[in-house]
Structure 1
Amino acid sequence: MQITAAVTRSPAGPFSLEPLEIEEPRAGEILVRVVATGVCHTDMVMRDQHLPTPQPVVLGHEGAGIVERVGPGVTKVAPGDHVVMTFNSCGRCLSCADHAPTYCHEFFPRNFMGAREDGSSGLSREGETIHANIFGQSSFATYALCHERNAVKVDKTAPLEILGPLGCGVMTGAGAVMNALKVPAGRSLAVFGAGAVGLSAVLAAKAIGAGPIIAVDINPDRLALALELGADHALNGAEGGVVEKIQAITGTGAQFSIDTTANLKVMRQAVDCLGARGVCGLVGASKMGDELPLDAVSVMSGGKVVRGVVEGDADPDVFIPELIALHQAGQFPFDRLIQFYPLSEINQAVADGEAGRVIKPVVRMA
């Protein structure tokens, strides 16, 4: 069948809306009519070739939609079901067996390399192969092929057009707090970067009763929003002295910190601001080869922990419905981060997100 998709053909280039042909779902695959898809920084990392994602390619990895058809062997969902599409995983490795699919041993090829396991795509234009299968979905399109493993069935009463970001950015920030760091109620947390991931972390910290919650950014509007969403303090990193200010607020240093910026200088601050036995989670997508220098004595003598966090350490089939339930209970208003655009304005959505004018752009396919 023919679909419309936003195709990326050059590093840093614009998205072009093109008519493509999409294959029927194969065994284990699902054809989803996409309702809306979030725009994520990781899409831009792939677009700009900071990761070796082949082009031309259809990006998009925060899709939500309605199951149109299923391939042979699919039992998890049926036509008409509402789904959030998230990252893909193999289901066979040690991490997947331990219910830790975010650390799937095949995470990189299954999410970033633009092809199925056999090298095929599923998308084409007049005989030209268009790379797809990004995060097992490539959802900057009116229809997407995903896999049974990375489709999460959701309640039809939930507003489908806002749910896509739960598949990556929102899940990453919230999961860093709730799953990876397991921040207890009443413990201090410093969040560096008040974008979609960082503000999702603030929302999650507020929901579980952590505090004080300290947001750090250089955008005054984002800092103001962080305070509205539950942060107790908002620090402008451009004014300097962030580490010292956090230590003064907490008395002994933060007990937990999260860096969402992938900026090496800021990542160092996220570690330096910790008190004894503090834990820092690094969730930003850095460039391959980046090296983070740390004060070895401070880390060792303070018993500090620095760990990477992928997709919020989430089991999406469990965590995404939990976040939806929190939202429906009024305890996790992540919809306040979202601004909608039609698919025809995807380049404006991307530009507004990159310029910091919008927290979480979401493109609607209708």
Structure 2
Amino acid sequence: MRTQAAVSYGPDTGFTIEDVEIADPRPDEILVRVTAAGICHTDLVTKAMMPAGVPAVYGHEGAGIVEATGAEVTDVRPGDRVVLSYNSCGTCGSCAAGSRAYCARFAALNNAGRRPDGSAALSLDGSDVWSSFFGQSSFARHAMATRENVVVVAADTDLVTAAPMGCGFQTGAGSVVNVLRPEPDSSLVVFGCGGVGLAAVMAANALGTGTVIAVDLAKQRRDLAAQLGATHTLDGADADLVERIRELTGGGATHAFDTTGVPAVVRNAALALGRLGSLVVVGLGAGDLNLDTMDLIGGGKTVRGSIEGDANPKELVPLLLSWQAEGRFPAERLITALPFERIDEAVARMRTDVVKPVLTFATS
């Protein structure tokens, strides 16, 4: 069938809305009519690495309505509302142990640009399109997903708000809920107040964390963090930033979370920890970090990375939606909805006034 997709032709191009062909669902696949799709920095990082001239469709924070399912899919039905997340095989050792974000086939299922069998879900003028990004490629009016990366949600779910819970909000909140696990007497410092960082702030607040410090260069985002539960906010450009954090936390934070991937920021995050403190890093930035090994060893500190907040989407997405319904995770405060056709504007505004852009799809 034909549908429309936002096609990229390389790192230096914008997106063009084009008619593409989407294949019929295989036995284990699910065809979803996309009604909302968040834009994540991972979409843009991947786009920046794609060779020029290669048609590609990104998008991995999709949400929509199931239109058709393959013969082997028995627990998802046409008409179901769904949130799309990362793909996993469901059978490897990591998946069986509950660590789906570390699936042995993660790269092949999420970043190869093709279905697991090597075929393309999308084509343009008879040629394959790099697609199946995170098992979906949801910058399109229809996406081909699988049972493993589809989360069925309630019929009254606001899919515009729910869409980023498949990745960005899941990464921030999941890193707090699943990895750092702060307690009421804990102190958490969040470096970077974009969608991921602010999701971490909201999750920490929902868990009742006693001290939540938000660090960002932009006053507007620091102010928003305060409204969402941060007990303190600090300017990331403050020359005495580490000392300020140590003062606020009585000698160093118990937990820290970095979304920036900037080596100097990660170094400060580690230095700001108290003894036996833990830092989780999720920002995609420079490959090399310059950490103070004497500080790490002497303080017994832990630094680790996390994919998707170590989350199983089928567990975390419903939790975040329940928190939102209770007013404990006001994700809607972060979202700016823009029509699908204005995707280039949405990308540009991520650098200025928009925390989390979500594309919306009018019925056509």
**Structure 1 counterpart of 2:31, one-letter code:** L
Question: Which string of whole-angstrom CA distances, capped at 9 and with x for unpartnered residues, describes residues 42-94 of structure 1?
Answer: 00001100x78993110000000000000120123110000000000111211
Task: Summarize the Cα distance change of 1:302–1:185 in structure 2 as closer, same or farther, 3 Å threshold.
Answer: same
Counterpart in the other structure of 2:216: 217
- Counterpart CA distance in 1 for 2:111 and 2:254 is 34
Q: Which runs of at least 4 in structure 1 moved beyond 4 Å after TM superposition? A: 51-54
SS of match in other structure, 1:244:
helix
Q: Percent identity?
A: 46
Say yes or no: does 1:359 pair with 2:355. yes
How high is the TM-score relative to the length of structure 2?
0.97
**Structure 1 counterpart of 2:187, one-letter code:** S
Counterpart in the other structure of 1:305: 302
- Counterpart CA distance in 2 for 1:76 and 1:45 is 34
Counterpart in the other structure of 2:165: 166
Say yes or no: does 1:317 pair with 2:314. yes
Contact 1:54 1:114 in 2 (8 A): no
Counterpart in the other structure of 1:194: 193
Say what the alpha-carbon RMSD is for the aligned residues: 1.3
Which deviates further from its counterpart, 225-234 or 155-164?
155-164
SS of match in other structure, 1:346:
helix
- Counterpart CA distance in 1 for 2:109 and 2:51 is 13
SS of match in other structure, 1:57:
coil
SS of match in other structure, 2:113:
coil
Counterpart in the other structure of 1:343: 340
**Structure 2 counterpart of 1:13, one-letter code:** T
- Counterpart CA distance in 2 for 1:343 and 1:269 is 38
- Counterpart CA distance in 2 for 1:24 and 1:241 is 58
Contact 1:278 1:303 in 2 (8 A): yes
Task: Summarize the Cα distance change of 1:316–1:54 in structure 2 as closer, same or farther, 3 Å threshold.
Answer: farther
**Structure 2 counterpart of 1:177, one-letter code:** V
How high is the TM-score relative to the length of structure 1?
0.97
SS of match in other structure, 1:238:
coil
Task: Summarize the Cα distance change of 1:53–1:250 in structure 2 as closer, same or farther, 3 Å threshold.
Answer: farther
User: Could you tell me how far 1:213 is from its partner in structure 2?
Assistant: 0.5
- Counterpart CA distance in 1 for 2:171 and 2:99 is 14
- Counterpart CA distance in 1 for 2:130 and 2:361 is 20
Question: Which string of whole-angstrom CA distances, capped at 9 and with x for unpartnered residues, describes residues 243-265 of structure 1?
Answer: 11100111110000000001111
User: Could you tell me how far 1:118 is from its partner in structure 2?
Assistant: 1.9
- Counterpart CA distance in 2 for 1:198 and 1:112 is 24
- Counterpart CA distance in 2 for 1:142 and 1:104 is 28
- Counterpart CA distance in 2 for 1:76 and 1:143 is 20
Counterpart in the other structure of 1:146: 145
For residues 253-272 of structure 1, what are the structure 2 equivalents within 5 Å? 253-272=252-271
User: Could you tell me how far 1:185 is from its partner in structure 2?
Assistant: 1.9
Task: Summarize the Cα distance change of 1:74–1:292 in structure 2 as closer, same or farther, 3 Å threshold.
Answer: same
Unaligned runs of 5+ in 1: none
User: Could you tell me how far 1:183 is from its partner in structure 2?
Assistant: 1.2
- Counterpart CA distance in 2 for 1:101 and 1:196 is 22
- Counterpart CA distance in 1 for 2:160 and 2:190 is 27
For residues 1-366 of structure 1, what are the structure 2 equivalents within 5 Å? 1-49=1-49, 55-287=54-286, 290-353=287-350, 355-366=351-362
Which deviates further from its counterpart, 278-287 or 252-261?
278-287
**Structure 2 counterpart of 1:337, one-letter code:** L
Contact 1:52 1:113 in 2 (8 A): no
Contact 2:15 2:344 in 1 (8 A): yes
Contact 2:11 2:52 in 1 (8 A): no
Contact 1:54 1:131 in 2 (8 A): no
Contact 2:87 2:106 in 1 (8 A): yes
